[in-house]
Amino acid sequence: MDDLKGKYLGQIADAADEASLEAIRLAAVGKKGEVALKMRELGKMTPEERQVAGPQLNALKDEINSALAARKASLADAALEERLRTEWLDVTLPSRPARQGTLHPISQVTEEVTAIFAEMGFAVAEGPRIDTDWYNFDALNIPSHHPARAEMDTFYMHRKDGDNRPPHVLRTHTSPVQIRTMEEMGAPLRIICPGGVYRADYDQTHTPMFHQVEGLALDRDISMANLKWVLEEFFSAYFEIDGIKTRFRASHFPFTEPSAEVDIQCSWVDGQLRIGEGDGWMEVLGSGMVHPKVIAAGGIDPEVYQGFAFGMGIDRIAMLKYGIPDLRAFFDSDLRWLRHYGFSALDTPTLHGGLSR
Ligand code: PHE
Protein backbone atom coordinates (compact mmCIF):
# COMPACT_ATOMS: atom_id res chain seq x y z
CA MET A 1 0.00 0.00 0.00
CA ASP A 2 2.90 2.34 0.68
CA ASP A 3 4.16 1.62 -2.84
CA LEU A 4 0.77 2.50 -4.28
CA LYS A 5 0.60 5.68 -2.24
CA GLY A 6 4.14 6.79 -3.18
CA LYS A 7 3.55 6.05 -6.88
CA TYR A 8 0.26 7.95 -7.22
CA LEU A 9 1.11 10.94 -5.04
CA GLY A 10 4.30 11.34 -7.07
CA GLN A 11 2.40 11.17 -10.39
CA ILE A 12 -0.18 13.65 -9.14
CA ALA A 13 2.50 16.13 -8.12
CA ASP A 14 4.09 15.86 -11.58
CA ALA A 15 0.83 16.09 -13.58
CA ALA A 16 1.04 19.05 -15.97
CA ASP A 17 -2.62 19.43 -16.88
CA GLU A 18 -6.16 18.33 -16.11
CA ALA A 19 -6.16 15.61 -18.76
CA SER A 20 -3.22 13.76 -17.20
CA LEU A 21 -4.75 14.22 -13.72
CA GLU A 22 -7.91 12.50 -14.98
CA ALA A 23 -5.86 9.60 -16.39
CA ILE A 24 -4.15 9.19 -13.01
CA ARG A 25 -7.52 9.31 -11.23
CA LEU A 26 -8.90 6.49 -13.41
CA ALA A 27 -5.79 4.35 -12.93
CA ALA A 28 -5.72 4.84 -9.16
CA VAL A 29 -9.25 5.27 -7.75
CA GLY A 30 -11.47 4.64 -10.81
CA LYS A 31 -13.89 1.68 -10.88
CA LYS A 32 -11.21 -0.51 -12.44
CA GLY A 33 -8.30 1.29 -10.82
CA GLU A 34 -5.63 -0.27 -8.66
CA VAL A 35 -7.24 0.72 -5.38
CA ALA A 36 -10.57 -0.81 -6.48
CA LEU A 37 -8.78 -4.04 -7.39
CA LYS A 38 -7.22 -4.10 -3.94
CA MET A 39 -10.66 -3.53 -2.41
CA ARG A 40 -11.91 -6.61 -4.21
CA GLU A 41 -9.16 -8.65 -2.58
CA LEU A 42 -10.70 -7.83 0.83
CA GLY A 43 -13.25 -10.58 0.21
CA LYS A 44 -10.58 -13.21 0.22
CA MET A 45 -9.13 -12.04 3.53
CA THR A 46 -9.83 -13.25 7.02
CA PRO A 47 -12.06 -10.97 9.10
CA GLU A 48 -9.05 -9.92 11.16
CA GLU A 49 -6.98 -9.06 8.09
CA ARG A 50 -9.94 -7.23 6.61
CA GLN A 51 -10.35 -5.09 9.73
CA VAL A 52 -6.84 -3.73 9.24
CA ALA A 53 -6.68 -3.55 5.44
CA GLY A 54 -10.19 -2.09 4.91
CA PRO A 55 -9.68 1.23 6.73
CA GLN A 56 -6.18 1.49 5.32
CA LEU A 57 -7.47 1.17 1.75
CA ASN A 58 -10.23 3.70 2.40
CA ALA A 59 -7.67 6.12 3.88
CA LEU A 60 -5.45 5.64 0.83
CA LYS A 61 -8.40 6.33 -1.47
CA ASP A 62 -9.24 9.51 0.45
CA GLU A 63 -5.66 10.66 0.40
CA ILE A 64 -5.33 10.16 -3.36
CA ASN A 65 -8.67 11.92 -3.97
CA SER A 66 -7.70 14.96 -1.94
CA ALA A 67 -4.25 15.11 -3.59
CA LEU A 68 -6.07 15.03 -6.93
CA ALA A 69 -8.42 17.84 -5.86
CA ALA A 70 -5.57 19.99 -4.53
CA ARG A 71 -3.49 19.52 -7.68
CA LYS A 72 -6.52 20.27 -9.84
CA ALA A 73 -7.09 23.54 -7.97
CA SER A 74 -3.48 24.60 -8.25
CA LEU A 75 -3.44 23.80 -11.98
CA ALA A 76 -6.58 25.95 -12.41
CA ASP A 77 -4.95 28.79 -10.47
CA ALA A 78 -1.86 28.60 -12.65
CA ALA A 79 -4.00 28.56 -15.81
CA LEU A 80 -5.91 31.65 -14.64
CA GLU A 81 -2.66 33.35 -13.74
CA GLU A 82 -1.32 32.66 -17.20
CA ARG A 83 -4.51 33.95 -18.86
CA LEU A 84 -4.44 37.15 -16.82
CA ARG A 85 -0.81 37.65 -17.79
CA THR A 86 -1.40 37.26 -21.53
CA GLU A 87 -4.65 39.22 -21.52
CA TRP A 88 -3.12 42.16 -19.60
CA LEU A 89 -4.28 45.56 -20.75
CA ASP A 90 -3.04 48.97 -19.62
CA VAL A 91 -6.26 50.92 -19.12
CA THR A 92 -4.29 54.11 -18.52
CA LEU A 93 -3.27 54.23 -22.20
CA PRO A 94 -5.24 56.79 -24.25
CA SER A 95 -8.12 55.12 -26.04
CA ARG A 96 -7.39 57.00 -29.28
CA PRO A 97 -4.26 58.41 -30.80
CA ALA A 98 -3.63 61.95 -29.53
CA ARG A 99 -5.14 64.56 -31.85
CA GLN A 100 -2.58 65.83 -34.28
CA GLY A 101 -3.97 69.14 -35.42
CA THR A 102 -6.16 71.85 -33.96
CA LEU A 103 -8.31 74.62 -35.34
CA HIS A 104 -6.73 78.04 -34.98
CA PRO A 105 -8.71 80.33 -32.62
CA ILE A 106 -9.40 82.67 -35.57
CA SER A 107 -11.03 79.83 -37.52
CA GLN A 108 -12.97 78.80 -34.43
CA VAL A 109 -14.21 82.31 -33.68
CA THR A 110 -15.10 82.90 -37.35
CA GLU A 111 -17.23 79.75 -37.18
CA GLU A 112 -18.84 80.88 -33.93
CA VAL A 113 -19.63 84.35 -35.31
CA THR A 114 -21.02 82.85 -38.51
CA ALA A 115 -23.26 80.46 -36.57
CA ILE A 116 -24.71 83.28 -34.45
CA PHE A 117 -25.41 85.65 -37.35
CA ALA A 118 -26.76 82.82 -39.50
CA GLU A 119 -29.42 82.32 -36.84
CA MET A 120 -30.39 85.99 -37.26
CA GLY A 121 -30.68 85.62 -41.03
CA PHE A 122 -27.27 86.96 -42.09
CA ALA A 123 -25.55 85.24 -45.02
CA VAL A 124 -21.76 85.13 -45.41
CA ALA A 125 -20.22 87.23 -48.19
CA GLU A 126 -16.60 87.35 -49.25
CA GLY A 127 -14.37 89.64 -51.26
CA PRO A 128 -10.74 89.78 -52.43
CA ARG A 129 -7.95 90.71 -50.06
CA ILE A 130 -6.22 92.63 -52.84
CA ASP A 131 -8.71 95.24 -53.97
CA THR A 132 -8.85 98.47 -55.94
CA ASP A 133 -8.61 101.73 -54.06
CA TRP A 134 -12.08 102.48 -55.40
CA TYR A 135 -13.65 99.61 -53.42
CA ASN A 136 -11.44 100.11 -50.39
CA PHE A 137 -11.79 103.91 -50.25
CA ASP A 138 -13.73 105.94 -52.84
CA ALA A 139 -16.91 103.87 -52.87
CA LEU A 140 -16.89 104.09 -49.06
CA ASN A 141 -16.93 107.89 -49.23
CA ILE A 142 -13.21 108.22 -48.54
CA PRO A 143 -11.93 110.47 -51.38
CA SER A 144 -8.20 110.64 -52.16
CA HIS A 145 -7.51 113.73 -50.04
CA HIS A 146 -9.33 112.25 -47.02
CA PRO A 147 -7.15 111.82 -43.89
CA ALA A 148 -8.58 108.33 -43.30
CA ARG A 149 -6.51 107.09 -46.25
CA ALA A 150 -3.35 108.04 -44.41
CA GLU A 151 -4.66 106.89 -41.02
CA MET A 152 -5.28 103.40 -42.36
CA ASP A 153 -1.52 102.78 -42.91
CA THR A 154 -2.32 101.24 -46.26
CA PHE A 155 -0.10 98.73 -48.07
CA TYR A 156 -0.06 99.67 -51.78
CA MET A 157 0.72 97.12 -54.48
CA HIS A 158 3.50 97.98 -56.90
CA ARG A 159 2.60 98.92 -60.50
CA LYS A 160 4.92 98.52 -63.47
CA ASP A 161 6.93 101.64 -64.32
CA GLY A 162 4.92 103.83 -66.65
CA ASP A 163 1.56 102.40 -65.52
CA ASN A 164 -0.12 105.42 -64.00
CA ARG A 165 -3.37 103.82 -62.91
CA PRO A 166 -3.98 103.99 -59.15
CA PRO A 167 -2.35 101.04 -57.40
CA HIS A 168 -4.26 98.11 -55.92
CA VAL A 169 -4.23 97.94 -52.13
CA LEU A 170 -4.24 95.20 -49.55
CA ARG A 171 -7.70 95.91 -48.17
CA THR A 172 -7.45 97.85 -44.92
CA HIS A 173 -10.88 96.70 -43.70
CA THR A 174 -13.72 94.39 -44.72
CA SER A 175 -15.96 97.34 -45.66
CA PRO A 176 -15.21 97.05 -49.43
CA VAL A 177 -17.18 93.80 -49.33
CA GLN A 178 -20.25 95.92 -48.48
CA ILE A 179 -19.99 97.57 -51.91
CA ARG A 180 -19.25 94.36 -53.82
CA THR A 181 -22.18 92.55 -52.22
CA MET A 182 -24.61 95.44 -52.78
CA GLU A 183 -23.60 95.45 -56.48
CA GLU A 184 -24.05 91.70 -56.72
CA MET A 185 -27.19 91.12 -54.67
CA GLY A 186 -29.05 94.45 -54.41
CA ALA A 187 -31.41 95.15 -51.51
CA PRO A 188 -32.85 94.09 -49.11
CA LEU A 189 -29.65 92.56 -47.81
CA ARG A 190 -28.36 90.97 -44.63
CA ILE A 191 -24.73 89.81 -44.66
CA ILE A 192 -21.60 89.42 -42.64
CA CYS A 193 -18.15 89.39 -44.27
CA PRO A 194 -15.36 87.81 -42.24
CA GLY A 195 -11.79 87.91 -43.52
CA GLY A 196 -8.20 89.08 -43.36
CA VAL A 197 -7.27 92.76 -43.60
CA TYR A 198 -3.92 94.59 -43.66
CA ARG A 199 -2.38 97.69 -42.10
CA ALA A 200 1.25 98.70 -41.67
CA ASP A 201 1.33 98.53 -37.88
CA TYR A 202 3.09 96.23 -35.43
CA ASP A 203 3.05 96.07 -31.62
CA GLN A 204 1.41 94.00 -28.86
CA THR A 205 -2.09 94.93 -30.04
CA HIS A 206 -1.44 95.40 -33.78
CA THR A 207 -0.20 93.04 -36.48
CA PRO A 208 0.16 93.92 -40.19
CA MET A 209 -2.47 91.30 -41.00
CA PHE A 210 -5.50 90.76 -38.83
CA HIS A 211 -9.15 89.80 -39.19
CA GLN A 212 -12.44 91.63 -39.21
CA VAL A 213 -16.05 90.74 -39.60
CA GLU A 214 -18.23 93.27 -41.35
CA GLY A 215 -21.98 93.36 -40.88
CA LEU A 216 -24.47 94.98 -43.24
CA ALA A 217 -28.27 95.06 -43.10
CA LEU A 218 -30.27 97.04 -45.65
CA ASP A 219 -34.03 97.35 -45.89
CA ARG A 220 -36.72 100.02 -46.07
CA ASP A 221 -37.08 100.53 -42.33
CA ILE A 222 -33.89 99.57 -40.53
CA SER A 223 -32.71 101.83 -37.70
CA MET A 224 -30.01 102.15 -35.03
CA ALA A 225 -32.40 100.34 -32.67
CA ASN A 226 -32.11 97.21 -34.85
CA LEU A 227 -28.33 97.59 -34.79
CA LYS A 228 -28.27 97.75 -30.99
CA TRP A 229 -30.52 94.70 -30.64
CA VAL A 230 -28.51 92.66 -33.13
CA LEU A 231 -25.23 93.52 -31.42
CA GLU A 232 -26.49 92.79 -27.90
CA GLU A 233 -27.97 89.54 -29.13
CA PHE A 234 -24.66 88.72 -30.78
CA PHE A 235 -22.45 89.50 -27.78
CA SER A 236 -24.64 87.55 -25.36
CA ALA A 237 -24.54 84.51 -27.64
CA TYR A 238 -20.84 84.87 -28.40
CA PHE A 239 -19.64 85.28 -24.82
CA GLU A 240 -22.28 82.77 -23.69
CA ILE A 241 -23.50 85.22 -21.02
CA ASP A 242 -27.13 86.39 -20.91
CA GLY A 243 -28.02 90.06 -21.28
CA ILE A 244 -24.70 91.73 -22.07
CA LYS A 245 -25.22 95.50 -22.28
CA THR A 246 -23.68 97.74 -24.94
CA ARG A 247 -22.83 101.42 -24.87
CA PHE A 248 -22.89 103.53 -28.04
CA ARG A 249 -20.48 106.46 -28.23
CA ALA A 250 -20.79 109.05 -31.00
CA SER A 251 -17.91 108.70 -33.42
CA HIS A 252 -17.00 109.36 -37.03
CA PHE A 253 -16.52 107.10 -40.03
CA PRO A 254 -16.78 108.45 -43.59
CA PHE A 255 -19.03 105.53 -44.60
CA THR A 256 -21.64 105.82 -41.84
CA GLU A 257 -23.82 108.68 -40.62
CA PRO A 258 -24.46 108.78 -37.74
CA SER A 259 -21.52 106.69 -36.53
CA ALA A 260 -20.95 105.03 -33.19
CA GLU A 261 -18.22 103.15 -31.46
CA VAL A 262 -19.66 100.33 -29.39
CA ASP A 263 -18.45 99.20 -25.98
CA ILE A 264 -19.54 96.12 -24.05
CA GLN A 265 -20.09 95.98 -20.32
CA CYS A 266 -17.19 94.56 -18.33
CA SER A 267 -15.22 94.77 -15.10
CA TRP A 268 -11.79 93.85 -13.82
CA VAL A 269 -11.64 91.61 -10.76
CA ASP A 270 -8.12 90.98 -9.40
CA GLY A 271 -6.67 91.97 -12.73
CA GLN A 272 -9.00 89.54 -14.52
CA LEU A 273 -11.38 90.83 -17.18
CA ARG A 274 -15.04 89.86 -16.67
CA ILE A 275 -17.29 90.46 -19.66
CA GLY A 276 -20.98 91.25 -19.10
CA GLU A 277 -20.77 92.42 -15.50
CA GLY A 278 -19.79 95.53 -13.53
CA ASP A 279 -19.69 99.15 -14.68
CA GLY A 280 -16.60 99.22 -16.90
CA TRP A 281 -16.70 99.41 -20.69
CA MET A 282 -14.56 97.83 -23.38
CA GLU A 283 -14.52 99.10 -26.95
CA VAL A 284 -15.23 96.31 -29.42
CA LEU A 285 -16.38 97.74 -32.75
CA GLY A 286 -17.25 100.62 -35.07
CA SER A 287 -20.70 101.00 -36.56
CA GLY A 288 -23.38 103.31 -37.83
CA MET A 289 -26.14 103.91 -40.38
CA VAL A 290 -24.74 103.34 -43.87
CA HIS A 291 -24.02 106.69 -45.56
CA PRO A 292 -26.40 107.41 -48.48
CA LYS A 293 -23.37 107.90 -50.78
CA VAL A 294 -22.17 104.40 -49.93
CA ILE A 295 -25.57 102.89 -50.67
CA ALA A 296 -25.57 104.74 -54.00
CA ALA A 297 -22.01 103.53 -54.75
CA GLY A 298 -23.34 99.99 -54.28
CA GLY A 299 -25.96 100.68 -56.98
CA ILE A 300 -28.92 100.87 -54.59
CA ASP A 301 -31.33 103.81 -54.22
CA PRO A 302 -30.64 105.48 -50.83
CA GLU A 303 -34.05 107.14 -51.02
CA VAL A 304 -35.65 103.72 -50.69
CA TYR A 305 -33.16 101.67 -48.69
CA GLN A 306 -31.29 102.38 -45.50
CA GLY A 307 -29.51 100.23 -42.99
CA PHE A 308 -26.70 99.69 -40.55
CA ALA A 309 -23.14 98.45 -40.86
CA PHE A 310 -20.50 97.47 -38.35
CA GLY A 311 -16.94 96.25 -38.35
CA MET A 312 -15.38 94.25 -35.56
CA GLY A 313 -11.94 92.66 -34.96
CA ILE A 314 -12.14 88.87 -34.95
CA ASP A 315 -8.70 88.50 -33.36
CA ARG A 316 -9.72 90.99 -30.70
CA ILE A 317 -12.93 89.22 -29.68
CA ALA A 318 -11.03 85.89 -29.78
CA MET A 319 -8.50 87.31 -27.29
CA LEU A 320 -11.30 88.59 -25.05
CA LYS A 321 -13.24 85.31 -25.00
CA TYR A 322 -10.36 82.88 -24.73
CA GLY A 323 -7.99 84.95 -22.55
CA ILE A 324 -5.21 85.19 -25.12
CA PRO A 325 -2.82 87.96 -24.04
CA ASP A 326 -0.67 88.75 -27.08
CA LEU A 327 -2.07 89.29 -30.57
CA ARG A 328 1.27 88.61 -32.26
CA ALA A 329 1.22 84.97 -31.11
CA PHE A 330 -1.76 84.39 -33.44
CA PHE A 331 0.61 84.56 -36.40
CA ASP A 332 3.79 82.96 -35.03
CA SER A 333 2.85 79.41 -36.09
CA ASP A 334 4.20 78.12 -32.78
CA LEU A 335 2.89 74.56 -32.44
CA ARG A 336 2.92 74.67 -28.64
CA TRP A 337 0.69 77.77 -28.75
CA LEU A 338 -1.60 76.16 -31.33
CA ARG A 339 -1.95 73.00 -29.23
CA HIS A 340 -2.77 75.09 -26.18
CA TYR A 341 -5.22 77.55 -27.73
CA GLY A 342 -6.45 75.40 -30.64
CA PHE A 343 -9.86 73.74 -30.94
CA SER A 344 -10.95 70.29 -31.99
CA ALA A 345 -11.77 70.27 -35.68
CA LEU A 346 -14.66 67.88 -34.97
CA ASP A 347 -16.67 70.22 -32.72
CA THR A 348 -18.59 72.44 -35.13
CA PRO A 349 -19.95 75.49 -33.31
CA THR A 350 -23.75 75.72 -33.43
CA LEU A 351 -26.15 77.65 -31.26
CA HIS A 352 -28.11 74.56 -30.22
CA GLY A 353 -25.09 72.26 -29.82
CA GLY A 354 -22.92 74.80 -28.01
CA LEU A 355 -20.53 77.34 -29.47
CA SER A 356 -17.37 76.35 -27.65
CA ARG A 357 -16.47 73.40 -25.48
N1 PHE B 1 -14.29 99.74 -41.36
C2 PHE B 1 -14.16 100.26 -40.03
C3 PHE B 1 -12.78 99.96 -39.49
O4 PHE B 1 -12.06 99.18 -40.04
C5 PHE B 1 -15.19 99.65 -39.10
C6 PHE B 1 -16.58 99.98 -39.47
C7 PHE B 1 -17.30 99.20 -40.35
C8 PHE B 1 -17.21 101.12 -38.94
C9 PHE B 1 -18.61 99.49 -40.68
C10 PHE B 1 -18.48 101.44 -39.27
C11 PHE B 1 -19.20 100.63 -40.13
O12 PHE B 1 -12.37 100.52 -38.47
- Ligand 1 centroid, distance to 29 Cα (angstroms): 100
Q: How far is the CA of 311 from the centre of ligand 1 (A)?
A: 4
Query: How far away, in angstroms, is 84 Cα from ligand 1 center?
Result: 68
pLDDT of residue 357: 60
What is the 286 CA–ligand 1 centroid distance (Å)?
A: 5
Q: What is the distance between the alpha carbons of residues 17 and 9, in angstroms, rounded to a whole number?
A: 15
Residue 311 alpha carbon, nearest atom of ligand 1: 7
Question: How many alpha carbons lie under 13 Å from residue 352 in its C-beta half-sphere?
Answer: 2
The residue among 355, 351, 325 whose CA lies nearest residue 340 is: 325
Report helix, strand or coil for 355. coil
| pLDDT tens profile 79-135 | 999 999 999 888 887 777 766 788 999 999 999 999 999 999 999 999 999 999 999
Atom 10, ligand 1: which residue's CA is nearest?
287
Tens of pLDDT, residue by residue over 204-230, are: 788 999 999 999 999 999 999 999 999
User: Which residue's C-alpha comes closest to atom 4 of ligand 1?
Assistant: 173
pLDDT tens digits, one per residue of 247-278: 999 999 999 999 999 999 999 888 888 999 99
Quote the ligand 1 centre to 212 CA distance (angstroms): 9
Q: Of ligand 1's atoms, which has the minimum distance to the CA of residue 216?
A: 9
Residue type, 193: C
Cβ neighbors of 201 (< 8 A, separation 6 or more) are 153, 207, 208
| Total residues found in the chain within this entry | 357
Element containing residue 210 per DSSP (H, E): strand 209-219
Atom of ligand 1 nearest to the CA of 197: 4
Predicted confidence band of residue 329 (pLDDT cuts 50, 70, 90)? very high
Atom of ligand 1 nearest to the CA of 215: 9
Task: Find out whether 72 and 18 touch, Cβ atoms under 8 Å.
Answer: yes
Q: Where are the alpha helices (DSSP H) in 143-175?
A: 147-151
Residue 340 dihedral angles phi and psi, to the nearest 5°: -75, -50
- pLDDT in the model for residue 353: 77
Q: Is 87 annotated as a binding residue?
A: no
| Ligand 1 site residues, Cβ closer than 6 angstroms | 173, 175, 214, 253, 256, 286-288, 309-311
DSSP assigned state of 17: S
